[in-house]
Amino acid sequence: MRQPLGAIVGIGELKPVRSTKGATTLGMIAEVARLAVADAGLEPGAIDGLLVGPQVGETPQHVPATVAEYLGLRPDMANVVDLGGASGAGMVWRAAAAIAAGMCETVLCVLANTREAEPPRSPNRNPIREFDVPFGASGANATYAMIKQRHMAEFGSADADFALIAAAARANAQSNPDAIFFGKPASVADVLASPLIASPLHLFEIVMPVAGGAAVVVSSAAAARGRRQPAVHLLGAGEKVTHRALSQAPSLTSGPLQPAIGRALVQAGVRIAEIDILSLYDCYSIMVATTIEDAGLAAPGRFGDWLRDADLSRLNPHGGQLGFGQPDLAGGMTHIVEAVRQLRGNTPMRQIANARLALVTGNGATMSEATALMLGAAA
């Protein structure tokens, strides 16, 4: 018999009922999760991985972050498994695979659903609907504006510091004919002169939504040898989910990318100073600022000094989403595609010389869900 792939150490189950008047999906998830964690003889803090189904009535998106927030978890790996009746079984092997990959050690796999004879009128127990939206903290522009405002208040960072990020994105986009802002550079002065959308965020500090797509194909390192294109290796990865609602964020000036990047660097055995390409998620200028600081490139509050001294052609060479455009969720994938192109050495208009290592970051919700990848060119 071969070595086991993993082990199930705790179980929980709710008694089936015909209807659940007044119940919520989040509440039922919390109860069955409590039973499973207790059966395993663990405390909630021991759970560092989370797999959930797509049907959580109180939230249409960011489901893992919403569930993690409600349960008081901050997992290093979180995901949705959407396989219908096969979701439970699919969760188990994915949990084992994540553990084997070193992403986490103990994964909660949970499914639950309510059933009401009439259209549901159950209480809303989603924190973002209860504590944020009623007070105007609704939508990405408003919430990221609050993060930028907090950074400026805490560290004294200036509008011109953030404008450097947007101006650099536009400058790099001039070397990418596919970018939505190709042929449309913007100086720091242009960024600061653009309209305020949600104070203190200017229009040019915010991504432009566009249509588009991106994809990658992943194989084993062994299977990648001798393929049509030079291989780019995944050297390390890190992930962290800390909250969903901004009101529940542990910090507004440092996010989950800090531990995610740290883990990716440790797995890869790489120091941040060795990285050639910084392919950083840039939905807003403030997101880049906090990532620069969370990565250890600059001390808290000093990203502007780093920007003024750095070679910004290495920061999102394709223009990032601020220069290239954000094709919805594929916007994050474009950062991976550009990193692969750079490490292959086949971007003649914007190629970074001798690029061997790339850091790629992804960000979900309001600085809530984070993934970091360390990619390396094949030797």
User: Which pLDDT belongs to residue 264?
Assistant: 94
- In angstroms and rounded to an integer, the radius of gyration of the C-alpha atoms of the chain is 22
| H/E segment holding residue 110 | strand 107-110
Q: Is the pTM of this model over 0.75?
A: yes
Domain boundaries, the chain: 25-125, 158-377
- Residue 359: what are its φ and ψ, rounded to 5°? -100, 125
User: Which pLDDT belongs to residue 13?
Assistant: 85
User: Which pLDDT belongs to residue 75?
Assistant: 97
Q: Can 25-125 and 158-377 be said to share one CATH topology? A: yes
User: Which pLDDT belongs to residue 117?
Assistant: 62
Cβ distance 92 to 6 under 8 Å? yes
Q: How far apart are CA 378 and CA 343, in angstroms?
A: 8
Query: Strand ranges (DSSP E) for 223-338?
Result: 232-241, 277-279
pLDDT (tens digit, 9 = 90+) per residue, 164-207? 999 999 999 999 999 999 999 999 999 999 999 999 999 999 99
Beta-bridge mates of residue 377: 232
25-125 belongs to CATH 3.40.47.10: yes
Burial class (CB in 10 A: 0-12, 13-18, 19+), 24: buried
Cite the DSSP H helix spans in 84-158: 87-100, 127, 140-155
Q: Work out the angle at residue 273's Cα, subtended by the Cα atoms of residues 356 and 101, and round it to the nearest 5 degrees.
A: 65
Burial class (CB in 10 A: 0-12, 13-18, 19+), 210: middle
User: Which pLDDT belongs to residue 187?
Assistant: 98
Q: Which of 178, 202, 168 is closest to 288 using CA atoms?
A: 168
SS3 79: strand
Question: Which homologous superfamily does the CATH classification assign to the domain defined by 158-377?
Answer: Thiolase/Chalcone synthase (3.40.47.10)
User: Which pLDDT belongs to residue 41?
Assistant: 92
Structure tokens at 156: 């004294």
Segments of the chain scoring below 70 in pLDDT: 1-2, 117-125
Peptide bond into 120 cis (omega under 30): no
